Amino acid sequence: MNTVAAARYSVERRAYGRMFSVAAASLLFFGLLCALQQGRLRATLKRMHEAAAEIRTGGPASGELSLERVLAKEQARQERLGREWETLRLKTDTFKWGSPLAEALSSDEEGRIDFKVALFKARSRLQQTAASNDIAFPEDLGMQGTIGTDEHAETRLWQLASVVKLVEACFQLGVPSILSLNALPPVEYPLLEEEAAIALEFPVRMRIHGSYATLVEILGATADDRSFFSLREFRVEKTEQGPGSLLTVDMVCGGILFQLRGEDDAVIPADGEVEDA
């Protein structure tokens, strides 16, 4: 074989070799691709079988919770939350032990007269208690003696009850001076549709003088389930200098009442939208 023929043979052999290498690589890539697709297909089929098994049995097929167990678990959770709600409701009900004006509470036509009498008696009694304990006290309780035509006497009585209960708590804690009182409009909190009660809050704005220790006791008392009041505002100002000086506190506390829901009271239905009952 001459030199030219030998060179041509060598070139052709290298070309065929590259062709076979490319072909082999292509076949390998195609095989890997097929294997990958088959793996995906098997995984898809497996998920399909698992889904079909869940549909047939009503729950996961791989030892997970069945639909019945899930339902039982959710029912147990609902019961636990219900118990927690009842505990919280009992703790936050300011008047669970009764109203200081229980004898005056009335929903009949004489309720307006009852309110005027209750307001006069409450003011006189609190002023007398303050005087006998050398406690500065305002001339009025921050409530008008008249009731508007669009107001309910029972609502005004509960406002007065909230004022009286808050003032009596301050007396017991040794507050040296109550500068002013003001009963604010009540606030209605709709409960769930299945609840038979509605939550009402009767806020009271009060300005007092007291020591730091007394103010700490007041905050503790508002959180105590025996004398619970919601704390809406609490602002402290130091107006005196020197050791043992008193602080001026402006605070808004609300007495919470749970009572049977009326026909016109708002509720929260299952869809979460607040509407009238």
* CATH 3.30.70.60 residue ranges for the chain: 92-276
- Condensed to tens digits (0 to 9), the pLDDT of residues 197-256 reads 888 999 999 999 998 898 899 999 999 888 899 999 999 998 777 777 889 999 999 999
pLDDT at 127: 95
pLDDT at 228: 92
Q: Rounded mean pLDDT of the chain?
A: 77
pLDDT at 256: 93
Stretch 36-55: mean pLDDT, rounded? 55
pLDDT at 146: 82
- Condensed to tens digits (0 to 9), the pLDDT of residues 129-171 reads 999 999 999 999 999 888 877 778 888 899 999 999 999 999 9
Distance CA 104, CA 112 (A): 10
Q: 205 by DSSP, 3-state: which? A: strand
Q: Is the pLDDT of residue 119 over 80?
A: yes
Task: Kindly list the distances between the CA atom of residue 4 and the CA atoms of 13, 16, 17, in Å, as whole numbers in the listed order.
Answer: 14, 19, 20
| 25: confidence class by pLDDT, cuts 50, 70, 90 | very low
Q: Is the pLDDT of residue 79 over 60?
A: yes
- This prediction has a pTM of 0.68
pLDDT at 15: 47
pLDDT at 34: 45
Rounded to the nearest 10°, the torsion over CA 161, 163, 164, 168 is 140
Stretch 261-272: mean pLDDT, rounded? 68
Poorest-confidence range of 108-112, 115-119, 247-251, 256-260? 108-112
Q: CB–CB of 191/144 below 8 Å? A: no
Give the domain 92-276 fold: Alpha-Beta Plaits (3.30.70)
Burial (CB count within 10 angstroms: exposed 0-12, middle 13-18, buried 19+), residue 34: exposed
| 20: confidence class by pLDDT, cuts 50, 70, 90 | very low
